[in-house]
Each structure stands twice: as structure tokens, then as C-alpha cells.
Amino acid sequence: MTKEKPPLGVNAQSFANHLTAGIEAAGLNLDSFRPMQVQHIDGRIGFSICQLKVGRTNKSIDAALSTMIACFEDGIELMDDDFSDHTFPINEQQPPSMLAVLFLAAILTKKPRAIYCEHCAKENANG
């Protein structure tokens, strides 16, 4: 007996729908980006996907996995320990559809988006 996954929330589902439709419209294989439903350690359910295609070598797999993002109801998080406290928030001015377009552009141009704050960027530049 398999356990059913809980459904995604409205924002996460909207993000997933828009992003996957764009990837498919571009003629790319969606599965190459490892889309999946994830559960955050705090219990939130979200949609995750790599911003780069997952290749066949360990180096390309690691590179792709390092760009994995997850969309939860309140925003997009990079699935990386370095910037896990920073998000692209979902709100009225920045709906999930807008964020899907942002990450679709990153996927199509092969230029993954990082999520960090200006303060952290300055610290890393000086560090």
C-alpha cells in the first residue's frame, strides 16, 4: 500500500504549473530537471526542481543539484545550506507566476539564480 502525497498548496502548485508548462513549451524534457514534491524539515510541502539539467557524470549531477530550488507557499528557497535562510517571497507584488517566469528564464539561459541578501553578498566579497 502506497501512501498518497499531500497536495501542494495554491502558490506552490501555481509555480509548478507555470514553470513546467514553460519548460515543456521550450521543447525540453521536464524529467531532466528532476522535478519532485518535497517536504521541508519543518513540515511544509513544496515543489522542487533543478535549474540545470541533471547530466550523466558526477560533476554535472552535482552542478545541477546545487541549483535545486523549492517553492513553498510563502516563497522560493534554494536547497543549499549556504543560503537556506533566504527566499524569494511570494506576495501580491511577486506572485508565483512571476517567480516561475524568473526561474524559467534561468533554466532556458542556463544561468541559475542564487538567492542571497545584499548583506551576505558583501560579507562574502570581503571575506
**pLDDT band at residue 6 using 50, 70 and 90 as cut-offs:** confident
**pLDDT band at residue 27 using 50, 70 and 90 as cut-offs:** very high
CA atoms 87, 9, 53, 111: torsion sign: negative
User: Dihedral of the CA atoms 15, 21, 26, 32 (nearest 10)?
Assistant: 70
Lowest mean pLDDT among 3-12, 28-37, 53-62, 81-90: 81-90
> How many DSSP H helices and E strands does the chain contain?
4, 5
What is the model's pTM? 0.84
Helix or strand or coil: residue 1? coil
The 10s digit of each residue's pLDDT in 45-97 is 999 999 999 988 888 888 888 899 999 999 999 876 544 566 899 999 999 99
Task: Give the 3-state secondary structure of 50-110.
Answer: CCCCCCCCHHHHHHHHCCCEEEECCEEEECCHHHCCCEEECCCCCCHHHHHHHHHHHHHHC
Q: Where are the domains of the chain?
A: 10-126
Residue 36: strand pairing partners? 48
**pLDDT band at residue 111 using 50, 70 and 90 as cut-offs:** very high
**pLDDT band at residue 126 using 50, 70 and 90 as cut-offs:** low
* Residues contacting residue 64 through CB under 8 Å, at least 6 positions apart: 33, 34, 50, 51, 52, 53, 54, 55
